[in-house]
Amino acid sequence: VQATAAAMPFNATKAAEHGAAQGLEPAIGQLVTPPSRLATGSTLSESQAGAKVGTQAPEGRNATIAPLDRVRVDSSGQPLTTNQGVRIADNQNSLKAGTRGPVLLEDFVLRDKITHFDHERIPERIVHARGSAAHGYFESYEALDELTMAAPFKAAGKRTPVFVRFSTVAGERGSKDTARDVRGFAVKFYTDEGNWDLVGNNIPVFFIQDAMKFPDLVHAVKPEPHHQMPQAASAHDTFWDFVSLMPESTHMLMWVMSDRAIPRSYATMQGFGVHSYRMVNAQGESVFVKFHWNPKFGTHSLTWDEAVKISGADPDYHRRDLWERIESGAFPEYELGVQVFTEEEAARFSFDILDATKIVPEELVPVRPIGRMVLDRNPDNFFAETEQVAFCTANIIPGLDFSNDPLLAGRIHSYVDTQISRLGGPNFHEIPINSPIAPVHNNQRDGMHRQAIHRGRVAYEPNSLAGGCPFQAGAAEQGFTSVAARLRAREDQAKVRAKPELFAEHYNQARLFYESQTPAEQAHIAAAFRFELSKVTVPAVRERMVASLRNASQELATRVAAGLNMPLPEPMPLAIARVPKPEVKRSLALSLMARPGDGSVAGRKVVLLAADGVLGEPLMAVHQALFEQGAVPRIAAPRIGPVQTADGVDLQADVSLENEPGFLFDGLVLPDGEAGVDMLGRDGHAFEFVRDQYRHCKPILALGAGEGLLRAAGVSASLPSGAADPGIVIDKDADSGVEAFISALARHRHFERETDPPRV
Ligand code: HDD
């Protein structure tokens, strides 16, 4: 589209200068006016909300859409310009003295372009560098007045916009998604009383108890400094050297060696606030809370062999899954729950609630559901939103407060500090994705990249020249007030570098976790320890780790030692003289199997194998049934494009056997039709599909002649026990198996077939 020069608006925030009614802005979504804004003052975050160019953001109920409209740029119908808005006539050739002559220094068009390019990268996050994010909303189930005055919980049905970033911890920005690692689960609530960040993980405990040890932990797990290996992996000497010397990490190690550290999807993992926080009501009364996010689609994970293979075929596996789920409308959804307990109750627990290596078992304090979060919009731009978003545990709002957890205290300092260098100065709160919906008014001024243009001559308080504004808010105006928590004992009032006694108990909850798992999950934990420690080259480190594990579980330690071909070492001496008796010995809530989800197959990917000569009709019937249930069926053939079916049904292969290997899918369908099955039987890729699906304990549906592929691949339809494998559905007449297959798919994995080593 060629538009005339005079009519072209060129500055997104200066529509007034160019006349808002010129009709040149591309079509936009409905402007959603954020509550309680626009009517007041003129901070950057709220200015110009009505003046926007070029947004094509979908119409939505998310109130962050409007503030971001202010900076959205859509270049459709626009000429190419320099950063000064000068139109560029030639974007192909630099300015030269003659066609074969030298390039001229005056070529500002070239220099503008190259200079900006040279500075495109910013430092990656020191941890959690690899991540993916989405917009959505939080909806409160009820008014929580008796517990908290926090804005999101003020009324039943109240919606607060959120931006959520999921991440791995150890890997660099471009590393694989399916590393064995903790997953970050960071939620920014844009509340009408300021931003609240709940910066959690998918595991409810942490490796260490005191922030003083965080740099050591991170140095130990990151690639080793001399040769910068291995990438995104804890299976190396320095990590295990460190954790084996820090028995407080044993509980966390159990979680990290469990399938929780290889989730199937961000939509199928839990999230936790980890620390004890406080909720405070309008009367100033406070209770302790632990935050839990429970996924609607259930908790599902990968198997280790599968995770390793996926990292080669699709390093963006979780990023793609999140993006595709949102684009297709299978929105990730999580229920927020809180465990609520008083200071007096906490004092009676056998563990210290300030110790981030401990959970509060759900049998001791149940989880109360208080709302749900839906992620329904992908970001417009990865860098502007996902990369530049800055979460911080210090970002809390009236109605919430911290506990004295020493790990949390260090975090309250660390996030802003690291972001000042990562985002280039102290004004990163003005970057659109970080700026609150609530108005910002204070006397902070200037600094690198300041965007707000503050008016007037007063930048101090108290003042009379500006009528005392901006003024301190009293309780009636929701001014933030810290809970006047009492220090309990006299000795707590002295300055010390020391820990409470219960912090020295390191194994009760590690044992609780292991003993609460199903046999399959326990086997995976033992196999993960075996794998990781087998990569450790120093025998003394392996021994020390197994010596520590003996205190958590004799059975686990024995399995791991056997797996490493080593004698069982003496148990590591305990750090505590009298071990407190735990209240709970088994907690079913700790098993992934406890949360199968809503029973649906929404978002599950299923591959239907095809080749020339298959029967198209039964395959398409399965395709249709899966599609109707919200699953994502894909037809895979030796080559993409049309497949010549035996019954003349029109069939198009979406993917080829080589470009989307079988382990990328949650289920496999083998086709009917002798000629087609014959052709697949001559392609080694097809056997890999069958064997990987089988080894990874996923469901397989064999239609008619397709059963032959199972046999040819060496896969048995019966379990090691001799019983029929419920995950393998053989539909001889190719007309009745789809229902059984869909319920096998909803179960996700069929671990009863699993053996170590694998049969196939
Ligand atoms: Fe942290 C990032 C979660 C302990 C210091 N952390 C970061 C992110 C998450 C967590 C989810 C990524 C946020 C994003 O997506 O941008 N961190 C945790 C949890 C912890 C924890 C659940 C334990 C309970 N972290 C922790 C400690 C310290 C830090 C003890 C330092 C004393 N974390 C950081 C950081 C990061 C960070 C260095 C890196 C990038 C950033 O903050 O913005 O400040």
Q: pLDDT tens for residues 19-74? A: 333 333 333 433 333 333 333 332 223 333 333 333 334 444 567 777 787 788 88
Contact 609, 668 (CB under 8 A): yes
Catalytic residue among 128, 292, 300, 318: 128
Looking from the CA of residue 410, the nearest atom of ligand 1 is: 32
Report whether pLDDT(587) > 90.
yes
| Range in 26-35, 220-229, 459-468, 672-681 the model is least confident about | 26-35
Which pLDDT value is given to residue 61?
Answer: 54
Ligand 1 midpoint to CA 169 (Å): 9
Ligand 1 mutation target, pool 127, 187, 290, most atoms within 8 A of CB: 127
Contact 657, 689 (CB under 8 A): yes
Looking from the CA of residue 185, the nearest atom of ligand 1 is: 11
Which pLDDT value is given to residue 27?
Answer: 35
| Range in 182-196, 316-330, 478-492, 512-526 the model is least confident about | 478-492
Which pLDDT value is given to residue 202?
Answer: 98
Which pLDDT value is given to residue 307?
Answer: 98
Report whether pLDDT(276) > 60.
yes
Q: Is 411 in the pocket of ligand 1 (CB under 6 A)?
A: yes
Q: Is 204 in the pocket of ligand 1 (CB under 6 A)?
A: no
Mean pLDDT across 205-223: 98
Looking from the CA of residue 165, the nearest atom of ligand 1 is: 15
φ, ψ (nearest 5 deg) of residue 66: -65, -50
Kindly state the DSSP code that residue 162 receives in the 8-state scheme. Answer: E
Which pLDDT value is given to residue 62?
Answer: 64
Domains in the chain and their CATH numbers? 131-233+249-430 (2.40.180.10), 513-594 (1.20.1370.20), 605-753 (3.40.50.880)
Ligand 1 mutation target, pool 165, 182, 199, 275, most atoms within 8 A of CB: 199
Looking from the CA of residue 205, the nearest atom of ligand 1 is: 24
What is the model's pTM? 0.92
Other beta carbons less than 10 A from residue 115's beta carbon: 11
Alpha carbon nearest to ligand 1 atom 7, residue = 128
Contacts of 181 (CB under 8 A, 6+ apart): 168, 169, 170, 171, 232, 234, 256, 261
Looking from the CA of residue 415, the nearest atom of ligand 1 is: 44
Q: Is 356 in the pocket of ligand 1 (CB under 6 A)?
A: yes
Mean pLDDT score across all residues of the chain: 91
Q: Is 184 in the pocket of ligand 1 (CB under 6 A)?
A: yes
Q: What tokens does 508 get?
A: 């009760």
Q: Is 130 in the pocket of ligand 1 (CB under 6 A)?
A: no
Ligand 1 midpoint to CA 758 (Å): 37
Q: Is 418 in the pocket of ligand 1 (CB under 6 A)?
A: yes
Q: How far apart are CA 66 and CA 435, in angstroms?
A: 12
Ligand 1 midpoint to CA 201 (Å): 9
Q: What tokens does 720 get?
A: 């090691």
Ligand 1 midpoint to CA 24 (Å): 44
- 381 burial via Cβ count (<10 Å: 0-12, 13-18, 19+): middle
Which pLDDT value is given to residue 279?
Answer: 98
Q: Which of 173, 397, 197, 115 is nearest to 280 (CA)?
A: 397
Q: Is 200 in the pocket of ligand 1 (CB under 6 A)?
A: yes
Q: Which of 229, 226, 214 is nearest to 175 (CA)?
A: 229
Alpha carbon nearest to ligand 1 atom 40, residue = 125
**C-alpha 10, offset from chain centre:** 37
Q: Catalytic residue at 201? A: yes
Q: Which residue has the higher pLDDT, 732 or 9?
A: 732
SS3 labels along 479-510? CCCCCCCCCCCHHHHCCCCCCCHHHHCCCHHH
Which pLDDT value is given to residue 22?
Answer: 38
Ligand 1 midpoint to CA 569 (Å): 35
Ligand 1 mutation target, pool 358, 383, 411, most atoms within 8 A of CB: 411
Ligand 1 midpoint to CA 357 (Å): 16
186 band by pLDDT with thresholds 50, 70 and 90:
very high
Per-residue pLDDT tens for 536-562? 999 999 999 999 999 999 999 999 999
Ligand 1 midpoint to CA 678 (Å): 54
Mean pLDDT across 354-366: 98
7 band by pLDDT with thresholds 50, 70 and 90:
very low
Mean pLDDT across 129-142: 97
Alpha carbon nearest to ligand 1 atom 18, residue = 200
Q: Is 167 in the pocket of ligand 1 (CB under 6 A)?
A: yes
Q: In what order do the strands lie in the sheet with 632-637?
A: 655-656, 632-637, 605-609, 667-670, 700-703, 728-731
Alpha carbon nearest to ligand 1 atom 31, residue = 411
Q: Which of 691, 689, 618 is nearest to 657 (CA)?
A: 689
SS3 labels along 370-400? EEEEEEEECCCCHHHHHHCCCCCCCCCCCCE
Q: Is 206 in the pocket of ligand 1 (CB under 6 A)?
A: yes
Ligand 1 midpoint to CA 566 (Å): 37
Q: Which of 473, 424, 419, 472 is nearest to 197 (CA)?
A: 419
Catalytic residue among 201, 294, 508, 551: 201
Alpha carbon nearest to ligand 1 atom 23, residue = 206
Q: Is 211 in the pocket of ligand 1 (CB under 6 A)?
A: yes
Contact 734, 723 (CB under 8 A): no
Per-residue pLDDT tens for 453-511? 999 999 999 999 999 999 999 878 889 999 998 876 666 678 899 999 999 999 999 99
Ligand 1 midpoint to CA 396 (Å): 16
Q: Is 524 in the pocket of ligand 1 (CB under 6 A)?
A: no
Alpha carbon nearest to ligand 1 atom 9, residue = 184
ipTM value: 0.98
Largest alpha-carbon pair distance within the chain?
91
Looking from the CA of residue 125, the nearest atom of ligand 1 is: 40
List beta partners, residue 189.
162, 196
Q: Which of 693, 663, 706 is nearest to 758 (CA)?
A: 693
Ligand 1 midpoint to CA 218 (Å): 11
Alpha carbon nearest to ligand 1 atom 42, residue = 415
Q: Is 207 in the pocket of ligand 1 (CB under 6 A)?
A: no
**C-alpha 699, offset from chain centre:** 26
Ligand 1 midpoint to CA 411 (Å): 7
Q: Catalytic residue at 128? A: yes
Ligand 1 midpoint to CA 388 (Å): 15
Q: Is 165 in the pocket of ligand 1 (CB under 6 A)?
A: yes
Q: Is 451 in the pocket of ligand 1 (CB under 6 A)?
A: no
Q: Is 478 in the pocket of ligand 1 (CB under 6 A)?
A: no
689 band by pLDDT with thresholds 50, 70 and 90:
very high
Q: Is 414 in the pocket of ligand 1 (CB under 6 A)?
A: yes
- 293 burial via Cβ count (<10 Å: 0-12, 13-18, 19+): buried
The beta strand positions in 692-735, using DSSP E, are: 700-703, 728-731
Q: Is 419 in the pocket of ligand 1 (CB under 6 A)?
A: yes
Ligand 1 midpoint to CA 173 (Å): 15
